[in-house]
Amino acid sequence: MKRIAVWVFYGIGALAIVYLALYAYAAFTGHGLQPGDPIHIFRKPDAPDYSAATGSDFAG
């Protein structure tokens, strides 16, 4: 049982190292955001506008 726990510990450590390596690769090779780049938010054109709180149901 102790040997299995050691191998599980090693496996979790190896996964953490792989994750950090992938993160470093993505951080150093990816392109950064440039000022002025548009942020694309896709929304259904017929979706209701919840920010227009002008109706009689709005208490304010």
Q: What does the mean pLDDT of the chain come to?
A: 81
Rounded to whole angstroms, how far apart are CA atoms 49 and 40? Answer: 18
Average pLDDT over residues 8-22: 97
Please indicate, yes or no, if residue 53 is contained in any of the structural domains. no
Residue 33 lies in a domain: no
Q: Is residue 4 part of a domain?
A: yes
pTM above 0.85, yes or no: no
In a domain? residue 1: yes
C-alpha 7/C-alpha 12 separation (Å) is: 9
Residue 36 lies in a domain: no
Whether residue 10 is contained in a domain is answered as yes
Whether residue 57 has pLDDT greater than 70: no
State how many domains the chain has.
Answer: 1
Q: Which domain holds residue 12?
A: 1-28
